[in-house]
Structure 1
Amino acid sequence: MSVRSLASLCLLAAVAFAVPAQEKRVHHHADLSDHAHDDTHGFQYDHEAFLGKEEAKTFDQLTPEESKDRLAKIVDRIDTDKDGFINHAELHYWIKHRQRSYISENVNRHWKDYDKNEDDKIAWEEYKNTTYGYYLGEEFDDIEDKATYKSMLTRDERRFKTADRDGDGIATREEFTAFLHPEEFDYMKDLVVQETVEDIDKNGDGKINLDEYIGDMYTPEEGESEPEWVQTERKHFTESRDANKDGYLDSSEVAHWILPGEVDHAANEAKHLIHDTDTNKDEKITKKEILANWNMFVGSQATNYGEDLTKRHDEL
């Protein structure tokens, strides 16, 4: 990706963030499902949590027999210790894996753009040359906002080095995922906070005052009265965000704001599926128990047992 295309992406991002931005910086993990978790009205939440949103759509088009056959193969993959049982840890790991599948799919789509020597790794030099390319030799001299692009390069390098856990200057697929999606990795969270402070802290004192906090979300038009949501954000800053009441947000207060503690929905879903499937109440489930409750795990909306089905996907 060239600097020109990078600038275009920045412009698109600016348009996307033109709506009230008071919650845009808060990092939440992806939802397990777009559906309400209410088993009295069906198991679509469980299907999307267990399979991932895209794969759940595939299973919706299968006959019950096909769904059960594919589910049996999935169970074998979940049973990592091959003891014939699925325990909470194994099911939790599987659901978390499916929850993050959209991220890995995104990384896979762009991998070839950066892995120029096709060694299944991405060196910092590969990323830098692909992203900034021609302009590196010119020291950004022919770019109007030279300082901005130099800052972007410095920031990218710092993030790359932080994601590169073994410090060899080369990112594995996992490390490159952490580089692109740092909010998903615990060891990157300090960097996420640091980048947020740098984005909002206009006077460079390393902390965020009320004007900077509001200015990141809202710039008034001439003669415009302040919207109610902005007034609400002012109260949030003084009453809750600024925990020590010193008039600023420091790094720990920013972390509390943008990285809120969250319920582990994947752990809760694993517990729910085991509870409703574990007939002998030994807190683990067998393939037989899972297949007996196949409609909870994968389900099927096909009613004609093979008629009018859409094109089959490859076997998992």
Structure 2
Amino acid sequence: MSRLISTHLIAFLACLALVNAAVVHTHGSHSLHKEREEDGAYSPRDKNHIASDEHNAEFDHEAILGSVKTAEEFDHLTKEESIRRLRILLVQMDLNGDGAIDKRELKAWIMRSFKLLSEEEAKERQEDADENEDGKITWEEYITDTYGSDEGDDTLPSYNEQLIADDKVMWDVADTNKDNILEGEEWMAFSHPEENPRMLPTILAQTLKGKDLNHDNAIDFQEYIGERGTEHDKEWLLVEKHKFDHELDSDGDGKLMGAEILSWVVPSNEEIAGEEVDHLFETSDDDQDGILSFDEVVAHHDTFVGSEATDYGDHIHNIHQFTDEL
């Protein structure tokens, strides 16, 4: 009987490992196009900000910890250990040493976290694609990792041809020394073009190429909506029209051009960080004095860093339940 339990337990754990591995790998194996939001936004920060119309708790944790891996580690900690480590972070956040965190300090910390998160993501993508582990990514390695085969392979779906062509344009701009190999800052520019000023003209050009159907170097509302208009109801269209008119079309001429297009497809990390600061203060500033004391943050530690989180706990619970049933 014990041998039977052991066999089934090993199988169960193996399944969990496969699921977790799949989740980890999906991020690194997608092209730039598949990283984009449904509405065209490039920013991975904005992508994770809201989940199912509610604030994403994981986003909060990553915005404070600056690492997906560290956030996952905190999920496995006891409440006491999570709070102990959070207090250490608070001392680092507290730039003026007054024992509290104001909005300016919290925003600076979150902007730092965004940079660290991008570097972590770029490193993971590089490790996925770097077949010979030399710390550099060749075009061939990127194509194989992203699309599953070499460029020009007849087995690739035909719709990938345009995606590969667009990726190559972005690749060539990132490849400053023109050796067709990306490393260091070059790879960072390619994997996170929205965060590199020299990549923005290419993002703008590729957005116009894909959206500007009448070739007037602008995007009107119908072009902005595109095929999404057939997938949503009238209420959604009204919300998008309000966003187009009052948030994106800054000069009110009925179309998006230049910087207006970039403000749409490349959401500002500054704005996202500001929204996150407001959210954390609304959640944790109990006395509403405009600053967060260390005690207030600790009282809401689960909002900032989490602890004893669920995925790991759920797995353990499922294992025990599984063995009990056997």
Per the normalisation by structure 1, the TM-score is 0.54
- Of 155, 165, 171, which residue of structure 1 is paired with 2:182? 171
Tell me the CA shift for residue 115 of structure 1: 1.4
CA distance in 2, matches of 1:45, 1:134: 33
The amino acid that maps onto 2:141 is: E
Paired position in structure 2 for 1:254: 261
Tell me the CA shift for residue 158 of structure 1: 1.5
| Greater Rg by CA | 1
Tell me the CA shift for residue 159 of structure 1: 0.9
User: Using a 3 Å threshold, how does the CA distance of structure 1 residues 119 and 291 change in structure 2: closer, same or farther?
Assistant: farther
Q: Secondary structure at the match of 1:155?
A: helix
Comparing 190-199 with 241-250, greater Cα deviation is found at 241-250
Paired position in structure 2 for 1:124: 139
Paired position in structure 1 for 2:40: 25
Tell me the CA shift for residue 192 of structure 1: 2.5
Contact 1:51 1:98 in 2 (8 A): yes
Contact 1:214 1:233 in 2 (8 A): no
User: Using a 3 Å threshold, how does the CA distance of structure 1 residues 194 and 74 change in structure 2: closer, same or farther?
Assistant: same
User: Using a 3 Å threshold, how does the CA distance of structure 1 residues 299 and 78 change in structure 2: closer, same or farther?
Assistant: closer
Alignment coverage as a number of residue pairs: 269
CA distance in 1, matches of 2:64, 2:274: 12
Contact 1:26 1:258 in 2 (8 A): yes
Paired position in structure 1 for 2:234: 228
Tell me the CA shift for residue 72 of structure 1: 7.0
Paired position in structure 2 for 1:191: 202
Tell me the CA shift for residue 46 of structure 1: 7.1
Alpha-carbon RMSD: 5.7
- Of 105, 108, 111, which residue of structure 2 is paired with 1:96? 111
CA distance in 2, matches of 1:300, 1:213: 38
Q: Structure 1 unaligned runs (5+)?
A: 38-42, 81-85, 221-225, 277-282, 284-288, 303-307, 312-316
Tell me the CA shift for residue 255 of structure 1: 2.2
The amino acid that maps onto 1:249 is: L
The amino acid that maps onto 1:253 is: E
Contact 2:93 2:105 in 1 (8 A): yes
Paired position in structure 2 for 1:279: none
Contact 1:122 1:171 in 2 (8 A): yes
Q: What is the percent sequence identity of the aligned residues?
A: 29
* Structure with greater helix share of residues: 2
- Of 28, 46, 64, which residue of structure 2 is paired with 1:50? 64
CA distance in 1, matches of 2:219, 2:126: 36
Q: Secondary structure at the match of 1:202?
A: coil
The amino acid that maps onto 2:228 is: M
Contact 1:71 1:291 in 2 (8 A): no
Paired position in structure 2 for 1:154: 165
